Amino acid sequence: MIRRLIQGVRLDIIAAYAARLALALVGVVLSPLPRRNKVTLLTRQSSRPPSDFILLSQALTRADPSLDVVIVAKMVPPGIVRKLAYAAHLVTEMYHAQTSRVLVVDGYSIIASAARHSEGLTIVQVWHALGSLKKFGLSILGQPGGRDPKLAKAMRMHAGYDLVIASAERCRAPFADAFGVSVDKVVAAPLPRVDRLMDPEQKLKARATFDHLYPQLAGQRIAVFAPTFRTEGLAEAVDPVELTLALEEAGYATITKLHPLLPAPRHPKLRTAPGMSTQEMLLVADIFITDYSSAVFEAAVAGVPSYLIAPDLDQYSAKRDFYVRYPDALGLPLAMDVTELVTQVHADAGSTADATRLRDDWVQMPEQGLAADALARIVLEWDDARARRKETP
Protein backbone atom coordinates (compact mmCIF):
# COMPACT_ATOMS: atom_id res chain seq x y z
CA MET A 1 0.00 0.00 0.00
CA ILE A 2 2.72 2.49 1.00
CA ARG A 3 4.73 1.59 -2.10
CA ARG A 4 1.68 2.26 -4.29
CA LEU A 5 1.17 5.62 -2.62
CA ILE A 6 4.79 6.55 -3.21
CA GLN A 7 4.58 5.44 -6.83
CA GLY A 8 1.41 7.49 -7.25
CA VAL A 9 3.05 10.68 -6.02
CA ARG A 10 3.62 13.13 -8.86
CA LEU A 11 6.90 14.78 -7.95
CA ASP A 12 6.66 17.05 -10.98
CA ILE A 13 3.30 18.39 -9.81
CA ILE A 14 4.57 18.84 -6.26
CA ALA A 15 7.56 20.73 -7.67
CA ALA A 16 5.23 22.92 -9.75
CA TYR A 17 3.16 23.97 -6.76
CA ALA A 18 6.33 24.49 -4.73
CA ALA A 19 7.67 26.75 -7.48
CA ARG A 20 4.45 28.75 -7.49
CA LEU A 21 4.64 29.17 -3.74
CA ALA A 22 8.26 30.32 -3.96
CA LEU A 23 7.36 32.82 -6.69
CA ALA A 24 4.46 34.10 -4.60
CA LEU A 25 6.85 34.79 -1.73
CA VAL A 26 9.27 36.54 -4.08
CA GLY A 27 6.36 38.58 -5.41
CA VAL A 28 5.48 39.73 -1.89
CA VAL A 29 9.05 40.86 -1.31
CA LEU A 30 9.18 42.73 -4.66
CA SER A 31 5.68 44.21 -4.46
CA PRO A 32 6.80 47.58 -3.00
CA LEU A 33 8.88 48.24 -6.14
CA PRO A 34 7.14 50.81 -8.36
CA ARG A 35 6.24 50.13 -11.95
CA ARG A 36 8.18 52.21 -14.45
CA ASN A 37 7.76 53.23 -18.08
CA LYS A 38 9.38 49.96 -19.01
CA VAL A 39 8.68 46.96 -21.26
CA THR A 40 10.34 43.59 -20.63
CA LEU A 41 10.67 41.06 -23.43
CA LEU A 42 11.11 37.61 -21.91
CA THR A 43 12.02 34.39 -23.71
CA ARG A 44 13.15 30.90 -22.78
CA GLN A 45 13.26 29.72 -26.39
CA SER A 46 17.00 30.46 -26.48
CA SER A 47 19.71 32.14 -24.44
CA ARG A 48 20.27 34.71 -27.16
CA PRO A 49 17.77 37.49 -27.89
CA PRO A 50 15.58 36.33 -30.80
CA SER A 51 15.34 38.53 -33.87
CA ASP A 52 11.66 39.27 -33.15
CA PHE A 53 12.57 40.76 -29.78
CA ILE A 54 15.51 42.75 -31.13
CA LEU A 55 13.32 44.30 -33.83
CA LEU A 56 10.41 44.86 -31.44
CA SER A 57 12.74 46.50 -28.90
CA GLN A 58 13.94 48.94 -31.54
CA ALA A 59 10.37 49.66 -32.64
CA LEU A 60 9.19 50.27 -29.07
CA THR A 61 12.00 52.76 -28.57
CA ARG A 62 11.06 54.52 -31.81
CA ALA A 63 7.44 54.71 -30.64
CA ASP A 64 8.41 56.08 -27.20
CA PRO A 65 12.04 57.21 -26.76
CA SER A 66 11.48 57.55 -23.00
CA LEU A 67 10.61 53.84 -22.74
CA ASP A 68 13.06 51.50 -21.02
CA VAL A 69 13.10 48.23 -22.99
CA VAL A 70 14.79 45.15 -21.51
CA ILE A 71 15.32 41.76 -23.20
CA VAL A 72 15.80 38.74 -20.94
CA ALA A 73 16.76 35.53 -22.79
CA LYS A 74 17.46 32.35 -20.84
CA MET A 75 16.74 28.81 -22.00
CA VAL A 76 15.89 26.19 -19.38
CA PRO A 77 19.12 24.12 -19.14
CA PRO A 78 19.38 20.33 -18.83
CA GLY A 79 20.45 18.69 -15.55
CA ILE A 80 19.29 19.14 -11.96
CA VAL A 81 22.15 21.40 -10.83
CA ARG A 82 21.80 23.76 -13.77
CA LYS A 83 18.03 23.86 -13.31
CA LEU A 84 18.58 25.00 -9.72
CA ALA A 85 20.69 27.86 -11.07
CA TYR A 86 17.88 28.65 -13.49
CA ALA A 87 15.46 28.80 -10.57
CA ALA A 88 17.63 31.53 -9.06
CA HIS A 89 17.52 33.36 -12.41
CA LEU A 90 13.71 33.48 -12.13
CA VAL A 91 14.11 36.06 -9.37
CA THR A 92 15.68 38.37 -11.96
CA GLU A 93 12.74 37.77 -14.28
CA MET A 94 10.31 38.50 -11.42
CA TYR A 95 12.10 41.77 -10.73
CA HIS A 96 11.74 42.91 -14.34
CA ALA A 97 8.07 41.85 -14.44
CA GLN A 98 7.36 43.74 -11.21
CA THR A 99 9.01 46.95 -12.46
CA SER A 100 7.47 46.93 -15.97
CA ARG A 101 4.20 48.17 -17.39
CA VAL A 102 4.27 45.48 -20.12
CA LEU A 103 5.67 41.94 -20.13
CA VAL A 104 6.02 40.32 -23.58
CA VAL A 105 6.66 36.57 -23.90
CA ASP A 106 7.04 34.32 -26.96
CA GLY A 107 6.03 31.00 -25.40
CA TYR A 108 5.04 29.60 -22.03
CA SER A 109 6.67 31.55 -19.19
CA ILE A 110 6.37 30.54 -15.55
CA ILE A 111 6.82 34.20 -14.62
CA ALA A 112 4.02 35.37 -16.91
CA SER A 113 1.51 32.62 -16.12
CA ALA A 114 2.32 30.89 -12.82
CA ALA A 115 3.47 33.91 -10.80
CA ARG A 116 1.03 36.39 -9.30
CA HIS A 117 1.46 40.03 -10.26
CA SER A 118 0.23 43.25 -8.71
CA GLU A 119 -1.99 45.55 -10.75
CA GLY A 120 -0.56 47.61 -13.55
CA LEU A 121 1.10 44.88 -15.64
CA THR A 122 -0.07 44.00 -19.16
CA ILE A 123 1.03 40.53 -20.30
CA VAL A 124 1.35 39.96 -24.06
CA GLN A 125 1.88 36.60 -25.77
CA VAL A 126 3.77 36.92 -29.06
CA TRP A 127 4.01 33.27 -30.11
CA HIS A 128 7.31 32.32 -31.76
CA ALA A 129 5.82 31.02 -35.01
CA LEU A 130 3.74 32.38 -37.86
CA GLY A 131 0.42 30.83 -38.84
CA SER A 132 -1.72 28.20 -37.16
CA LEU A 133 -0.92 24.81 -38.65
CA LYS A 134 -0.36 22.10 -36.02
CA LYS A 135 -2.40 22.32 -32.83
CA PHE A 136 -0.42 23.37 -29.77
CA GLY A 137 -0.71 24.69 -26.23
CA LEU A 138 -4.04 24.13 -24.51
CA SER A 139 -5.50 22.74 -27.75
CA ILE A 140 -3.68 19.41 -27.27
CA LEU A 141 -3.65 18.86 -23.50
CA GLY A 142 -3.51 15.15 -22.77
CA GLN A 143 -2.81 14.27 -26.40
CA PRO A 144 0.44 13.00 -27.96
CA GLY A 145 2.78 15.96 -28.19
CA GLY A 146 0.76 17.88 -25.60
CA ARG A 147 1.23 18.49 -21.90
CA ASP A 148 -0.23 16.44 -19.09
CA PRO A 149 -3.46 18.20 -17.97
CA LYS A 150 -2.64 17.90 -14.26
CA LEU A 151 0.84 19.36 -14.72
CA ALA A 152 -0.54 22.08 -16.99
CA LYS A 153 -3.02 23.02 -14.27
CA ALA A 154 -0.29 23.07 -11.63
CA MET A 155 1.88 25.32 -13.82
CA ARG A 156 -1.11 27.52 -14.83
CA MET A 157 -0.15 26.86 -18.42
CA HIS A 158 -0.77 29.91 -20.63
CA ALA A 159 -2.84 31.69 -17.99
CA GLY A 160 -3.04 35.43 -17.49
CA TYR A 161 -2.62 36.91 -20.97
CA ASP A 162 -4.14 40.31 -21.63
CA LEU A 163 -3.27 40.26 -25.32
CA VAL A 164 -2.30 37.53 -27.80
CA ILE A 165 -0.79 38.22 -31.22
CA ALA A 166 -1.65 35.99 -34.21
CA SER A 167 -0.23 36.45 -37.70
CA ALA A 168 -3.55 36.67 -39.56
CA GLU A 169 -7.30 36.95 -39.07
CA ARG A 170 -7.78 33.23 -39.80
CA CYS A 171 -5.36 32.42 -36.95
CA ARG A 172 -7.25 34.31 -34.23
CA ALA A 173 -9.68 31.52 -33.28
CA PRO A 174 -6.96 28.81 -33.17
CA PHE A 175 -4.74 31.04 -31.02
CA ALA A 176 -7.64 31.79 -28.69
CA ASP A 177 -8.09 28.04 -28.26
CA ALA A 178 -4.36 27.40 -27.79
CA PHE A 179 -3.98 30.09 -25.13
CA GLY A 180 -7.33 29.85 -23.38
CA VAL A 181 -8.45 33.42 -24.07
CA SER A 182 -11.50 34.93 -25.72
CA VAL A 183 -11.10 35.80 -29.41
CA ASP A 184 -11.44 39.51 -28.66
CA LYS A 185 -8.09 39.33 -26.86
CA VAL A 186 -6.36 38.04 -30.01
CA VAL A 187 -5.16 40.64 -32.49
CA ALA A 188 -3.92 39.89 -36.01
CA ALA A 189 -0.46 41.30 -36.68
CA PRO A 190 2.70 39.88 -38.26
CA LEU A 191 5.81 39.10 -36.24
CA PRO A 192 8.74 41.53 -36.61
CA ARG A 193 10.75 38.83 -38.41
CA VAL A 194 8.61 39.63 -41.46
CA ASP A 195 10.65 42.82 -41.89
CA ARG A 196 13.91 40.91 -42.18
CA LEU A 197 12.45 38.23 -44.42
CA MET A 198 11.48 40.93 -46.93
CA ASP A 199 14.54 43.17 -46.57
CA PRO A 200 16.90 43.12 -49.62
CA GLU A 201 19.82 44.25 -47.44
CA GLN A 202 19.29 41.35 -45.05
CA LYS A 203 19.26 39.03 -48.05
CA LEU A 204 22.65 40.33 -49.19
CA LYS A 205 24.08 39.94 -45.66
CA ALA A 206 22.78 36.39 -45.36
CA ARG A 207 24.22 35.52 -48.75
CA ALA A 208 27.61 36.93 -47.78
CA THR A 209 27.62 34.90 -44.56
CA PHE A 210 26.61 31.76 -46.44
CA ASP A 211 29.27 32.26 -49.12
CA HIS A 212 31.88 32.60 -46.39
CA LEU A 213 30.73 29.30 -44.87
CA TYR A 214 30.47 27.45 -48.18
CA PRO A 215 32.57 29.17 -50.87
CA GLN A 216 32.48 25.96 -52.90
CA LEU A 217 28.71 26.38 -53.37
CA ALA A 218 28.97 29.74 -55.14
CA GLY A 219 26.51 29.85 -58.01
CA GLN A 220 24.68 26.67 -56.99
CA ARG A 221 20.96 26.50 -56.32
CA ILE A 222 20.21 26.05 -52.62
CA ALA A 223 17.50 23.90 -51.02
CA VAL A 224 16.71 24.30 -47.31
CA PHE A 225 15.19 21.32 -45.51
CA ALA A 226 13.63 22.12 -42.10
CA PRO A 227 11.45 19.35 -40.63
CA THR A 228 9.12 19.97 -37.71
CA PHE A 229 10.15 19.42 -34.09
CA ARG A 230 8.51 16.12 -33.12
CA THR A 231 7.14 15.70 -29.60
CA GLU A 232 4.69 12.90 -30.44
CA GLY A 233 7.10 9.98 -30.07
CA LEU A 234 7.37 9.51 -33.84
CA ALA A 235 10.74 9.02 -35.50
CA GLU A 236 11.91 11.31 -38.30
CA ALA A 237 10.27 10.17 -41.53
CA VAL A 238 12.76 11.70 -43.96
CA ASP A 239 16.46 10.84 -43.94
CA PRO A 240 18.28 14.17 -44.50
CA VAL A 241 21.27 12.36 -46.01
CA GLU A 242 19.10 10.57 -48.57
CA LEU A 243 17.37 13.86 -49.36
CA THR A 244 20.69 15.68 -49.72
CA LEU A 245 22.09 13.11 -52.12
CA ALA A 246 18.90 12.98 -54.21
CA LEU A 247 18.67 16.76 -54.55
CA GLU A 248 22.36 16.92 -55.41
CA GLU A 249 21.59 14.91 -58.53
CA ALA A 250 18.79 17.39 -59.25
CA GLY A 251 21.26 20.28 -59.13
CA TYR A 252 20.60 21.56 -55.61
CA ALA A 253 22.92 21.86 -52.63
CA THR A 254 20.85 21.07 -49.52
CA ILE A 255 21.13 22.71 -46.11
CA THR A 256 19.43 20.85 -43.25
CA LYS A 257 18.14 23.01 -40.38
CA LEU A 258 16.77 21.09 -37.40
CA HIS A 259 15.05 22.56 -34.34
CA PRO A 260 17.57 24.27 -31.99
CA LEU A 261 16.80 21.69 -29.27
CA LEU A 262 17.97 18.83 -31.50
CA PRO A 263 21.64 17.91 -31.96
CA ALA A 264 23.09 18.68 -35.37
CA PRO A 265 23.37 15.50 -37.44
CA ARG A 266 26.82 14.38 -38.56
CA HIS A 267 27.59 13.02 -42.00
CA PRO A 268 30.23 13.99 -44.59
CA LYS A 269 27.52 14.95 -47.09
CA LEU A 270 25.30 16.82 -44.64
CA ARG A 271 25.45 20.62 -44.40
CA THR A 272 23.82 22.48 -41.51
CA ALA A 273 25.11 26.07 -41.95
CA PRO A 274 26.20 26.51 -38.31
CA GLY A 275 25.66 30.00 -36.99
CA MET A 276 22.84 30.72 -39.45
CA SER A 277 19.21 30.42 -38.40
CA THR A 278 16.44 28.93 -40.53
CA GLN A 279 15.16 32.45 -41.13
CA GLU A 280 18.56 33.55 -42.40
CA MET A 281 18.81 30.50 -44.63
CA LEU A 282 15.45 31.36 -46.18
CA LEU A 283 17.08 34.54 -47.48
CA VAL A 284 19.54 32.35 -49.36
CA ALA A 285 17.26 29.49 -50.41
CA ASP A 286 15.95 28.86 -53.91
CA ILE A 287 13.47 26.28 -52.60
CA PHE A 288 12.22 25.27 -49.15
CA ILE A 289 11.27 21.73 -48.07
CA THR A 290 9.46 20.67 -44.90
CA ASP A 291 7.00 18.16 -43.55
CA TYR A 292 4.77 19.95 -41.03
CA SER A 293 6.81 22.97 -39.89
CA SER A 294 5.23 26.42 -39.64
CA ALA A 295 8.46 27.74 -41.16
CA VAL A 296 6.60 27.22 -44.44
CA PHE A 297 4.86 30.54 -43.71
CA GLU A 298 8.23 32.25 -43.25
CA ALA A 299 9.33 30.85 -46.60
CA ALA A 300 6.16 32.31 -48.10
CA VAL A 301 7.00 35.75 -46.71
CA ALA A 302 10.51 35.46 -48.15
CA GLY A 303 9.01 34.50 -51.53
CA VAL A 304 10.65 31.07 -51.60
CA PRO A 305 8.83 28.23 -53.43
CA SER A 306 8.00 25.44 -50.99
CA TYR A 307 7.54 21.68 -51.15
CA LEU A 308 5.96 19.33 -48.62
CA ILE A 309 7.26 15.82 -47.99
CA ALA A 310 5.27 13.66 -45.58
CA PRO A 311 5.85 9.90 -45.87
CA ASP A 312 4.21 9.39 -42.47
CA LEU A 313 1.18 11.61 -43.04
CA ASP A 314 -1.36 9.04 -41.84
CA GLN A 315 0.60 8.15 -38.69
CA TYR A 316 1.41 11.79 -37.93
CA SER A 317 -2.17 12.95 -38.41
CA ALA A 318 -3.33 10.22 -36.01
CA LYS A 319 -0.87 11.44 -33.39
CA ARG A 320 -0.99 15.20 -33.92
CA ASP A 321 -4.05 17.16 -34.95
CA PHE A 322 -4.08 20.23 -37.18
CA TYR A 323 -6.08 23.44 -37.03
CA VAL A 324 -6.61 23.13 -40.78
CA ARG A 325 -6.95 20.36 -43.34
CA TYR A 326 -3.37 19.40 -44.16
CA PRO A 327 -2.03 19.65 -46.82
CA ASP A 328 -5.04 21.02 -48.74
CA ALA A 329 -5.16 24.31 -46.82
CA LEU A 330 -1.58 25.11 -47.86
CA GLY A 331 -2.02 24.40 -51.56
CA LEU A 332 1.61 23.27 -51.99
CA PRO A 333 3.02 20.25 -53.83
CA LEU A 334 3.11 17.19 -51.54
CA ALA A 335 5.45 14.24 -52.00
CA MET A 336 5.18 10.95 -50.16
CA ASP A 337 8.85 10.03 -50.64
CA VAL A 338 12.16 11.50 -51.75
CA THR A 339 11.86 10.18 -55.31
CA GLU A 340 8.49 11.89 -55.80
CA LEU A 341 9.87 15.10 -54.31
CA VAL A 342 12.80 15.18 -56.72
CA THR A 343 10.39 14.67 -59.63
CA GLN A 344 8.35 17.66 -58.44
CA VAL A 345 11.47 19.79 -58.04
CA HIS A 346 12.60 18.89 -61.57
CA ALA A 347 9.14 19.99 -62.80
CA ASP A 348 9.28 23.27 -60.81
CA ALA A 349 5.99 22.32 -59.14
CA GLY A 350 6.60 24.89 -56.42
CA SER A 351 6.34 28.55 -57.42
CA THR A 352 6.73 32.08 -56.14
CA ALA A 353 3.04 32.57 -57.00
CA ASP A 354 2.21 29.85 -54.46
CA ALA A 355 4.43 31.61 -51.92
CA THR A 356 2.66 34.93 -52.47
CA ARG A 357 -0.78 33.32 -52.11
CA LEU A 358 0.28 31.53 -48.92
CA ARG A 359 1.69 34.74 -47.46
CA ASP A 360 -1.49 36.68 -48.27
CA ASP A 361 -3.64 33.98 -46.64
CA TRP A 362 -1.62 33.46 -43.46
CA VAL A 363 0.33 36.66 -42.72
CA GLN A 364 -1.46 39.98 -42.35
CA MET A 365 1.08 42.47 -43.65
CA PRO A 366 1.08 46.03 -42.27
CA GLU A 367 -0.75 48.54 -44.45
CA GLN A 368 2.29 50.80 -44.28
CA GLY A 369 5.69 50.85 -42.61
CA LEU A 370 7.37 48.02 -40.74
CA ALA A 371 5.74 45.03 -39.07
CA ALA A 372 7.78 45.72 -35.92
CA ASP A 373 6.44 49.27 -35.70
CA ALA A 374 2.87 48.04 -36.19
CA LEU A 375 3.30 45.51 -33.39
CA ALA A 376 4.88 48.09 -31.08
CA ARG A 377 1.90 50.41 -31.59
CA ILE A 378 -0.57 47.60 -30.87
CA VAL A 379 1.22 46.63 -27.64
CA LEU A 380 1.49 50.17 -26.29
CA GLU A 381 -2.04 51.19 -27.34
CA TRP A 382 -3.47 48.02 -25.78
CA ASP A 383 -1.64 48.78 -22.54
CA ASP A 384 -2.86 52.39 -22.56
CA ALA A 385 -6.45 51.23 -23.15
CA ARG A 386 -6.20 48.71 -20.30
CA ALA A 387 -4.87 51.41 -17.99
CA ARG A 388 -7.77 53.72 -18.90
CA ARG A 389 -10.29 50.98 -18.22
CA LYS A 390 -8.77 50.47 -14.77
CA GLU A 391 -9.06 54.20 -14.01
CA THR A 392 -12.72 54.42 -15.11
CA PRO A 393 -15.00 54.04 -12.08
Residue 6: per-residue pLDDT? 47
289 touches 225 (CB < 8 A): yes
Half-sphere exposure of 229 (CA within 13 A, CB side): 13
**Nearest alpha-carbon partner for 316 in 235, 224, 239, 261:** 235
Better-scored residue on pLDDT, 266 or 7: 266
Percent of the chain with pLDDT strictly greater than 70: 95
State the pTM of this model: 0.92
Q: 88-97, 231-240, 266-275: which range is least confident on average?
A: 231-240
Residue 175 has pLDDT above 90, yes or no: yes
Residue 377 has pLDDT above 70, yes or no: yes
Percent of the chain with pLDDT strictly greater than 90: 77
Residue 231 has pLDDT above 80, yes or no: no
Half-sphere exposure of 237 (CA within 13 A, CB side): 23
What average pLDDT does the segment 291-297 reach? 95
- The side-by-side arrangement of strands in the sheet containing 221-225 is 252-256, 221-225, 287-290, 306-309, 334-335
Whether the ω angle into residue 265 lies within 30 degrees of 0, i.e. cis, is no
386 touches 123 (CB < 8 A): no
Residue 235 has pLDDT above 90, yes or no: no
Residues 67-108: tens digit of each pLDDT: 999 999 998 877 777 777 788 889 999 999 999 999 999 999
**Nearest alpha-carbon partner for 350 in 226, 203, 223, 237:** 223
What is the distance between the alpha carbons of residues 261 and 26, in angstroms, rounded to a whole number?
30
What average pLDDT does the segment 28-45 reach? 95
Query: Confidence class of residue 391 from pLDDT cuts 50, 70 and 90?
Result: low
Secondary structure E strands in the chain: 38-43, 68-73, 102-105, 122-126, 163-166, 186-188, 221-225, 252-256, 287-290, 306-309, 334-335
Which amino acid type is present at position 235?
A
What is the distance between the alpha carbons of residues 82 and 87, in angstroms, rounded to a whole number?
9
Residue 5 has pLDDT above 90, yes or no: no
Secondary structure E strands in 44-130: 68-73, 102-105, 122-126
What average pLDDT does the segment 248-258 reach? 94
What average pLDDT does the segment 357-370 reach? 93
